[in-house]
Structure 1
C-alpha cells in the first residue's frame, strides 16, 4: 500500500471516528430531551389525578410548563435541538446500521427509519414552539385535537375506516410490544451494564420496567380509541395523550390508576436520562 493510499485510509478512519463521536453526543442529548418531556408529562398527569386538571398532560402541556420556568426559552431550544440529534442518530442507524449484532438487518434499519421520521416531526414541533408558534402544528396545540383532525382526514380517504382501524390496531399492538419488552428487560442489551454498580442497575430496572409498562399501556389505550373511532366512524372518539390519560381516571379504580400511569411516565423520563448515560451508541 503506497503513501497516498495510507493517507486516504487515515483520513477516512478519522472521519468515521469524528462522525461516531458526533452521533454519540447527538444520541445522548436526544435521550435527555426525551426524558425531560416524559418527566413533565408524568408530573402533569399526576396533577390531574389529584384534581388539578387545568393543564394538558401531553407534549404541548410539557412545553408550556417548560416555557414558564426560569431560562424557559433556552431550555425549549435545548430540548428541540436534542430531539434533532435523536432524529439524526436514528437516521444514521437507518443508513449504516445500529450498534448491535443484528443492527445491519433490513427490519432494524426500517425501524430506525420510522423512528427518524417520528423524532424529526417531534423536533420540528418543539422548535416551532420555541420560535413562538403556539398552534397545533407548532407543538403547543392539544394532542387530542391533532389526533381527531388526523383521524377525520384519514376517514375521508377511500377505505378510510379500514385504514384508521388498521392504524389503531397497530398502535395498540405496538403498546403491548413496548410494555412486554420492558417487562422482559430487553433494554439490557442496549446498556453498558458492566459500567453500572449493582444498586444503579436496580434503579435503572425500576425505571425501565415501570416506565416502559406505563408507556405501553398509554399507547395501547390510544390505539383502542382509534379503533373505536374507525368502527363508529366518529373521529372525535380518537384520543391523544391527554384524553387517553384522563380516561384511566374513568375506570372502576378511579384516579389511582391514572396516578400509577403518571408515575410510570415520569419514571420513563428518568429511564431516558439513564439511557443518555449508559446506552450503547
Structure 2
C-alpha cells in the first residue's frame, strides 16, 4: 500500500501531466498560431510608427514623441482609430501568450528548452503584457505618458529608496548589455534560426536577412542609449538625466553627425518594422510543443 505522501505525489504528477498536455494542445492549435503571428504584425506596426515619427523629428518636425505614446496618438487620429488600437492590443496579448508558451515548453530553436531561453521568453512576455495594458489604458481614455516622463518618474522614485541608485545603475547596464547582445545577434544573423528559411526563395532569404541585420543593429543602438542615460542618471543622482525612447532618439540628433544620425537610426527602426512582418510570415510558431 502506498503512503499518503506517495499518493499525493502520484495525483500531482497525473494532474501536472494533464495540464502540460492541455497546454501543448492549445499551443499546437491553428488559432493560437494565428494569434502569435498577429502579435508579430502589431509589433511591426509599432516600430513602423515610432520610426516614422523619428524620421520626421530628424527632418525638423518634432511635435510628437517618438515612442509608444506618439505611436498610439498617431493611430487614434486615423479613421476607425479606436478599432485599430483594439486590434493592436489583441495582437500584443497574443504575442504575450506565445512568449509564455515558449517559457513553458521551450523555444523552437536549438537548446530552446534551456532555462536561459525560457527566461528570455518570460521577460518578453512581461514586456508585451505591459504594452498591451498601455494600449488598453490609452483606448479607455486614461492617456499614455511619454517614455521620458515614465523613465524620469521611475528613476526618481527608485533613487529615493535605499540602494535605489545601484538598482537604476544595474537596470541601465542591463539595457546596455542587451543592446550589445542585440547588435551582436543581428550581425551574426542569429535571428535566422527562428525562421522557416526552407520556405523562402534565395531572394527572399537575402532580403529578410538584410532587414533583420539593419533593424536589429538599430534596436541595439537605441537600447544602449537608453541604458547609458539611466546609468548616467544613477551616477549623478539626477533623475532628470534619465531618458526614454523619445529622448534617446532626439539625442542622436545632437551628435556631431547632426539630425542625419537620427534619421539613419529611425530608418533602421522602420526596417525592423518591415522585418517583423517577415517574421510574422516565417517564424516557427508551430514548433512550440
| TM-score by shorter chain over 0.5 | yes
Equivalent in 80, 87, 112 of residue 78 of structure 1? 87
User: Is 2:28 aligned against 1:20?
Assistant: yes
Equivalent in 51, 57, 62 of residue 60 of structure 2? 51
Q: TM-score, normalised by structure 1?
A: 0.91
Paired with 1:182 and 1:198, the residues of 2 have a C-alpha distance of 19
User: Is 2:215 aligned against 1:196?
Assistant: no
8 Å Cα contact 2:27-2:101 kept in structure 1: no
CA offsets, 1:190-239, max 9 Å, x none? 01111111221122122111111111000000000001100000001000
Q: Which residue does the alignment assign to 1:88?
A: 97
Q: Which residue does the alignment assign to 1:66?
A: 75
How many Å apart are 1:13 and its aligned residue? 7.5
Paired with 1:228 and 1:14, the residues of 2 have a C-alpha distance of 48
Q: Equivalent residues in 2 for 1:98-113 (5 A)?
A: 98-113=107-122
User: Is 2:48 aligned against 1:39?
Assistant: yes
CA offsets, 1:67-106, max 9 Å, x none? 1112211110000110000111111111122222312111
Q: Which residue does the alignment assign to 1:5?
A: none
How many Å apart are 1:156 and its aligned residue? 1.2
Paired with 2:25 and 2:266, the residues of 1 have a C-alpha distance of 40
Equivalent in 214, 236, 240 of residue 210 of structure 1? 214
Q: Equivalent residues in 2 for 1:112-261 (5 A)?
A: 112-134=121-143, 140-261=144-265
Paired with 1:215 and 1:244, the residues of 2 have a C-alpha distance of 12
Q: Detail structure 1 runs of 4+ shifted over 6 Å in the superposition.
A: 12-15
Q: Which residue does the alignment assign to 1:8?
A: none
The alignment partner of 1:52 has SS state of coil
**How many aligned residue pairs are there?**
266
| CA shift in 2, pair 1:237/1:17, >3 Å | same
Q: TM-score, normalised by structure 2?
A: 0.89
Paired with 1:112 and 1:273, the residues of 2 have a C-alpha distance of 19
How many Å apart are 1:133 and its aligned residue? 1.8
How many Å apart are 1:45 and its aligned residue? 0.1
Paired with 1:264 and 1:223, the residues of 2 have a C-alpha distance of 19
More deviation, 99-108/227-236 = 99-108
How many Å apart are 1:132 and its aligned residue? 2.0
Paired with 2:80 and 2:203, the residues of 1 have a C-alpha distance of 34
5+ residue gaps, structure 2, are 1-19
Equivalent in 247, 262, 272 of residue 266 of structure 2? 262
Paired with 1:211 and 1:38, the residues of 2 have a C-alpha distance of 10
Paired with 1:259 and 1:29, the residues of 2 have a C-alpha distance of 28
5+ residue gaps, structure 1, are 1-11, 135-139
- The CA RMSD measured in Å over matched residues stands at 1.6
8 Å Cα contact 1:248-1:255 kept in structure 2: yes
CA offsets, 1:121-148, max 9 Å, x none? 11110111122221xxxxx211000000
The alignment partner of 1:102 has SS state of coil
